[in-house]
Amino acid sequence: MQKIKKILIGTHNKGKFKEICDLLPKKLEKISPINLKIPSPDETGKTFQENSELKANFFCEMGKMVTLSDDSGLEVECLDGEPGIYSSRWAKKYGSFDGAMTEIFNRVKKLKKSTAAQFVCSLTIQWPDGKKISEIGKIKGDICSKRGSNGFGYDPIFIPNGYPKTFAEMEYKKKLLIDHRYIAYKKLEKKIKNFL
Ligand code: IMP
């Protein structure tokens, strides 16, 4: 079994890149597709897993090395799971993440239903011979008005269950060790520990 010495982190998102690097063992060399001038593929999948697999496959073929990719997003219960896999596309549609967060909060407030939501992350590791493993992580919580300035994306409007703060109000290390990405990574780690 060949140990992984370096790994391509299949994302252009700086927030995700940092979190994934900090979850992986320190000794692994982590490579960004930005440094290799590899663009992002179109996200044509219908699920988080389909998208993380297509990203892993794309970046692995382009970079010719073991690749770990993430597809993730925020599902809001009273919005029938939106923005979901379209989380980053909502930011484009509403001008920015700030605009998308305002839109989500206003819609939730207007509906006066549940504020329940969850972050979902699918992580896929792929080897150049085509072998791949995917795992999903989810964290449940509630939508609130924007609070806090840490983190990225939709962190300011999400309070995880059992905590008094939004992800954006938490210390970076606190969020890192409880979020959807961490949950997916811990499942994946069990399956790849012999390669690390
Ligand atoms: P994609 O996986 O590249 O389609 O992007 C998903 C989008 O969901 C990201 O651009 C983020 O805005 C959002 N997202 C995913 N994970 C997180 C998170 O941990 N915090 C805040 N936003 C997130």
Which neighbouring-strand residues pair with 126?
Answer: 67, 132
Q: Using the predicted structure, report yes or no on whether residue 169 has a pLDDT greater than 90.
A: yes
45-80 pLDDT, tens digit each: 999 999 999 999 999 999 999 999 999 999 999 999
Residues 31-35 have a mean pLDDT of 98
129-165 pLDDT, tens digit each: 999 999 999 999 999 999 999 999 999 999 999 999 9
- How many separate domains does the chain show? 1
Mean of the per-residue pLDDT values of the chain: 97
**How far is it, in rounded angstroms, from Cα 129 to Cα 92?**
35
Please check whether residue 37 lies inside any domain of the structure.
yes
Percent of the chain at pLDDT above 90?
98
The residue nearest atom 5 of ligand 1, judged by CA position, is: 88
State in Å: Cα 82 to ligand 1 middle. Answer: 13
Please check whether residue 1 lies inside any domain of the structure.
no
Cβ of 94 below 6 Å from ligand 1? no
pLDDT at 1 (0 to 100) = 74
Query: How is residue 92 written in tokens?
Result: 């484009």
**How far is it, in rounded angstroms, from Cα 23 to Cα 26?**
9
CATH number for position 29 = 3.90.950.10
The residue nearest atom 20 of ligand 1, judged by CA position, is: 155
Considering only CA atoms, which of 52, 96, 99, 101 is closest in space to residue 76? 101
User: Count of CB atoms within 10 A of residue 128's CB?
Assistant: 12
What range defines the domain where residue 23 resides?
Answer: 6-195
Q: Which atom of ligand 1 is nearest to the CA of 11?
A: 3
State in Å: Cα 153 to ligand 1 middle. Answer: 6
Please check whether residue 99 lies inside any domain of the structure.
yes
> Which residues belong to the active site?
71
State in Å: Cα 109 to ligand 1 middle. Answer: 22
State in Å: Cα 74 to ligand 1 middle. Answer: 7
Q: Using the predicted structure, report yes or no on whether residue 112 has a pLDDT greater than 90.
A: no
Q: Using the predicted structure, report yes or no on whether residue 86 has a pLDDT greater than 80.
A: yes
Please check whether residue 19 lies inside any domain of the structure.
yes
Dihedral, 104, 40, 47, 69 alpha carbons, nearest 10: -110
The residue nearest atom 2 of ligand 1, judged by CA position, is: 71
Task: Answer for the pair 48, 115: CB distance below 8 angstroms, yes or no.
Answer: no
Please check whether residue 124 lies inside any domain of the structure.
yes
Query: How is residue 146 written in tokens?
Result: 């924007």
Please check whether residue 142 lies inside any domain of the structure.
yes
Query: How is residue 77 written in tokens?
Result: 């219960």
